[in-house]
Amino acid sequence: MESEQTISMIQIFGILRKHIRAIIETTVVVTLAAGFITFFFMTPKYSATTEILVNRKLSADMQGAQFQQVQADVQMISTYKDIITSPTVLRDVNKQIKNYPGYPGSMSALKKSLSINNSQNSQVFSVTAKSTDPGTAAAIANSTAKVFKKKVVKIMSVNNVSIVSEAEINRKAVSPRKTLNILIGLILGVILGIALAFIRELTDRTITSSTFLTDNLGLTNLGIVNEIDQKDIEKTVEHKKLQIKVDKNELSARNHRRV
**Strand runs labelled E in 119-171:** 124-131, 161-165
Q: In whole angstroms, what is the distance from residue 142 CA to residue 164 CA?
A: 11
Q: Phi and psi for 140 in degrees, rounded to 5? A: -65, -45
**pLDDT tens over the chain, length 259 residues:** 444 444 578 888 888 888 899 999 999 999 999 999 999 999 999 999 999 988 766 555 554 555 566 677 777 788 888 899 999 999 999 999 999 998 988 889 999 999 999 877 788 899 999 999 999 999 999 999 999 999 988 888 778 888 999 999 999 999 899 999 999 999 999 999 999 998 988 887 776 666 766 766 667 766 666 666 677 777 777 777 777 776 666 666 666 666 5
Q: Which secondary-structure segment (H or E) carries 48?
A: strand 46-54
Q: In whole angstroms, what is the distance from residue 61 CA to residue 86 CA?
A: 36
Strand order in the sheet with 114-118: 114-118, 124-131, 46-54, 161-165
Q: In whole angstroms, what is the distance from residue 109 CA to residue 131 CA?
A: 10
Q: Are 148 and 80 in contact (CB under 8 A)?
A: yes
Rounded to two decimals, the pTM is 0.66
Q: In whole angstroms, what is the distance from residue 255 CA to residue 56 CA?
A: 127
Helix (H, G, I), strand (E, B) or coil at 176: coil
Question: Which amino acid makes up residue 233?
Answer: I
Q: Are 190 and 27 in contact (CB under 8 A)?
A: yes
